[in-house]
Structure 1
Amino acid sequence: MNANLKLVILDRDGTINRASDEFIKSPEEWHPLPGAMEAISRLNHAGYHVVLATNQSGLGRGLFDVAALNAVHSHMIKTLAAAGGRIDAIFYCPHAPDEGCGCRKPWPGLFAQIAERYGVSLQGVPCIGDSLRDMQAAEAAGCAPHLVCTGRHADLLGQAVPPGFPVNTRIHADLAACVDQLLGLETSNPALAA
């Protein structure tokens, strides 16, 4: 186990880029949310490894293929590099909702893959996403759930944690605000930086 590895798990659509009901099928359809690239860069510069855990059911629905998904991710990685950041790995579920897989959030299969790849426990690892299913998967994996109000739940900003969400969910305006809080907590508690 690598107990010293600092890890943050991010959702993609609605968390770091604008979500679309039509799915993100090409690099031209991928647009970063304001401040998101810089927020990831700040995590990297604070020593965090950033990984994505994303449902990509457009693959299972036949809306795009793996080459198109790779092109979107290549564009995302280049855009992030221009802001001085990086994503260490991308874990995605390619299945449609009716396929009954264990890797589609809210199931924690992607998180189990991350834990195995990095040889770590995910207990308390920050997981940042924009949906109930992100928070449910985070809780099932033992992660600390952080909801950003830039996607499916923009209406929750300033509200109490709603029923159905893990009770320890923290709600933030956006990824930048969440990163501010994570890095602020680390600064105020040196044990978190170890």
Structure 2
Amino acid sequence: MPGIVILDRDGVINRDSKDYIKSTAEWQPLPGAPEAIARLNRAGWRVAVATNQSGIGRGYYDHATLSAIHHRMNQRVVEAGGTICHIEYCPHRPDEGCGCRKPAPGMLFAIQRAAGLDDLQQSWMVGDSLRDIDAGARAGCQTALVRTGNGTDCEIPVRSAFPKTWVCTDLNDFVTRLLDLDAQ
């Protein structure tokens, strides 16, 4: 059985914003992302989300608002025929030094426990930033960078620090490559 595909949220599933996603109206899925999650599910992969949400710690929105945003995200994925089995988020500001904020692997290990996995070696972390890839590597995941969101800006540092990381156009491209690999 495959492991789990862990996705960063902003810039991977939905459009990112330098001003933070602070409401359900601001949450806009990237083209094809909900459908890509559904394709993973149909192929037997579970999908989880690990997302830094320091907007809570900064006072830009609260836990209830984030819950509503995640409800909307889940609705869009369900409408596409898929499901997200678990969402982990870090509400802390970068200066708080917690163990959950990526690049720390705490959220990924929480997903591992929730999924009942012994380890994450057969799992993937897909993100659009160096900190996503770093967290995935620290947790023992295989890693993929998507060029959506911040991915284009950090491609060179990711390739330098993590040369085995796949670099993909977007989530759909990652899913196609993974499912092609599974078919071999």
If the length of structure 1 is used for normalisation, what is the TM-score?
0.90
Match for residue 170 of structure 1? 166
Deviating beyond 6 angstroms after TM superposition, the runs of 4 or more aligned structure 1 residues are none
Counterpart CA distance in 1 for 2:178 and 2:2 is 15
Offset, 1:147: 0.2
Aligned pairs (5 A) from 1:99-178: 99-120=96-117, 121-155=119-153, 162-163=159-160, 165-178=161-174
Instruction: Name the SS of the counterpart of 1:51 in structure 2.
Output: strand
Aligned mate of 2:6, from 4, 9, 29:
9
Counterpart CA distance in 2 for 1:178 and 1:5 is 15
Question: Structure 1 regions of 5+ residues with no counterpart?
Answer: 189-194
- Could you list the per-position Cα deviations for residues 63-91 of structure 1 after superposition, in whole angstroms to 9, with x for gaps in the alignment? 10001001101111111111111101100
Aligned pairs (5 A) from 1:23-172: 23-120=20-117, 121-155=119-153, 162-163=159-160, 165-172=161-168
Q: Which amino acid aligns with 2:177?
A: Q
- Percent identity, aligned pairs only, is 51
- Could you list the per-position Cα deviations for residues 38-87 of structure 1 after superposition, in whole angstroms to 9, with x for gaps in the alignment? 10000011111100011000011111000100110111111111111110
Contact 1:156 1:171 in 2 (8 A): no
Match for residue 179 of structure 2? 183
- Could you list the per-position Cα deviations for residues 98-154 of structure 1 after superposition, in whole angstroms to 9, with x for gaps in the alignment? 000010000001111112222211013111110000000000000001000001122
Offset, 1:160: 9.2
Q: Which amino acid aligns with 1:76?
A: M
Offset, 1:6: 3.2
Question: Structure 2 regions of 5+ residues with no counterpart?
Answer: none
Instruction: Name the SS of the counterpart of 2:89 in structure 1.
Output: strand
Q: 1:155 to 1:5 in 2, by over 3 A?
A: closer
If the length of structure 2 is used for normalisation, what is the TM-score?
0.94
CA-atom RMSD in angstroms: 1.5
| Bigger Cα Rg | 1
Instruction: Name the SS of the counterpart of 2:180 in structure 1.
Output: helix
Offset, 1:161: 5.2
Q: 1:59 to 1:97 in 2, by over 3 A?
A: same
Instruction: Name the SS of the counterpart of 2:108 in structure 1.
Output: helix
Provide the aligned length of Structure 1 versus Structure 2.
183
